[in-house]
């Protein structure tokens, strides 16, 4: 069984913990209890494979941002959560994603964009299109509107990010195999330490992924929630 470290990030009060606890324990936490750092485990089967998920639920309160770097380093996949009732929470995600990419030093990292509280139609200030637009700007990062209260799209979002990690790992091991072959083929006497750049290879990986992604919009049953996979 493989370990999958997933990190939940986002501004304060958007429902990161509610989404996480709903996914892990099937409970909706109503009271507000600001998180400093919580960690959860859950075993699920995805595509016939047993997966051991380690989920790190982080602080949204701005004062704790100094801890973020460590979380991002340890995480393999990321759920970036905003609230459809809070315009600024989506804006804050833009900087967060940049931070993830910078720390990971990669063009793409397993990630989903989540617009939570989609059941609060009356308070909604961000439309599905707002989320879609960001997802497109990010190179088609999968986007889900969720409701932690009604457990809408919660499992889907988590499963999606784990699938992305799986894909990424498969690609990486494939890449390594090929690199090894290549190295064996051209094993020169003194290959300089800084000569090989991983850049071209990872670019093709990103392209491959992009072409594989497709857009599927589905209307949720009870609430108007949108899923892009």
Q: Can you tell me the distance from the alpha carbon of 225 to that of 205, in angstroms, rounded to the nearest whole number?
A: 31
| Least CB distance to other proteins at residue 93 (A) | 12
Q: Which residues bind other proteins (CB under 8 A)?
A: 1, 11-14, 17, 21, 27, 29-41, 43, 52, 57, 60-64, 66-67, 73, 86, 88-89, 91-92, 102-106, 172, 192-198
Choose between 67 and 215: whose C-beta lies nearer to other proteins.
Answer: 67
Choose between 89 and 164: whose C-beta lies nearer to other proteins.
Answer: 89
Q: Can you tell me the distance from the alpha carbon of 68 to that of 38, in angstroms, rounded to the nearest whole number?
A: 13
Of 130, 202, 147, nearest in space to 14 by CA: 147
| Least CB distance to other proteins at residue 37 (A) | 6
CB burial string 38-54: b at 16+ within 10 A, e below: bebebeeeeeeeebebb
Choose between 63 and 211: whose C-beta lies nearer to other proteins.
Answer: 63
Tracing tokens 């380093």 back to the chain, one arrives at 73
| Least CB distance to other proteins at residue 128 (A) | 21
| Least CB distance to other proteins at residue 50 (A) | 9
Choose between 91 and 208: whose C-beta lies nearer to other proteins.
Answer: 91
Choose between 57 and 160: whose C-beta lies nearer to other proteins.
Answer: 57
CA distances from 91 to 11, 13, 126, 209 (A): 9, 14, 11, 26
Choose between 38 and 156: whose C-beta lies nearer to other proteins.
Answer: 38
Q: Can you tell me the distance from the alpha carbon of 114 to that of 121, in angstroms, rounded to the nearest whole number?
A: 16
| Least CB distance to other proteins at residue 191 (A) | 10
Long-range contact set of residues 70-76: C-beta below 8 Å, sequence gap at least 24: 71/7, 71/9, 71/37, 72/7, 72/9, 72/99, 72/100, 72/103, 72/104, 73/103, 74/5, 74/7, 75/5, 75/6, 75/7, 76/4, 76/5, 76/6, 76/110, 76/165, 76/168
Choose between 36 and 216: whose C-beta lies nearer to other proteins.
Answer: 36
| Least CB distance to other proteins at residue 150 (A) | 18
């Amino acid at each position: 069984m493989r370990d999958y470290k997933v990190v939940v990030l986002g501004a304060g009060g958007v429902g990161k913990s509610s989404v996480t606890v709903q996914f892990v324990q099937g409970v909706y936490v109503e009271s507000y209890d600001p998180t400093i750092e919580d960690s959860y485990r859950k075993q699920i089967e995805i595509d016939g494979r047993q997966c051991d998920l380690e989920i790190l639920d982080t602080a949204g309160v701005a004062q704790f941002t100094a801890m973020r770097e460590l979380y991002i380093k340890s995480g393999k996949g990321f759920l970036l959560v905003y609230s459809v009732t809070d315009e600024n929470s989506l804006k804050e995600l833009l900087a967060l994603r940049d931070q993830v990419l910078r720390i990971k030093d990669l063009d793409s990292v397993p990630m989903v964009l989540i617009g939570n509280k989609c059941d609060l139609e009356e308070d909604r200030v961000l439309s599905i299109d707002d989320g879609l637009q960001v997802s497109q700007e990010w190179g088609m990062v999968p986007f889900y509107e969720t409701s932690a209260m009604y457990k809408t799209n919660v499992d889907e979002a988590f499963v999606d990010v784990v699938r992305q990690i799986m894909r990424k790992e498969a690609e990486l091991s494939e890449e390594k195999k090929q690199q090894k072959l290549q190295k064996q083929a051209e094993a020169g006497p003194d290959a300089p330490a800084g000569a090989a750049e991983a850049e071209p290879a990872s670019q093709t990986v990103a392209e491959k992924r992009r072409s594989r992604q497709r857009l599927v919009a589905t209307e949720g049953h009870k609430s108007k929630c949108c899923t892009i996979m």
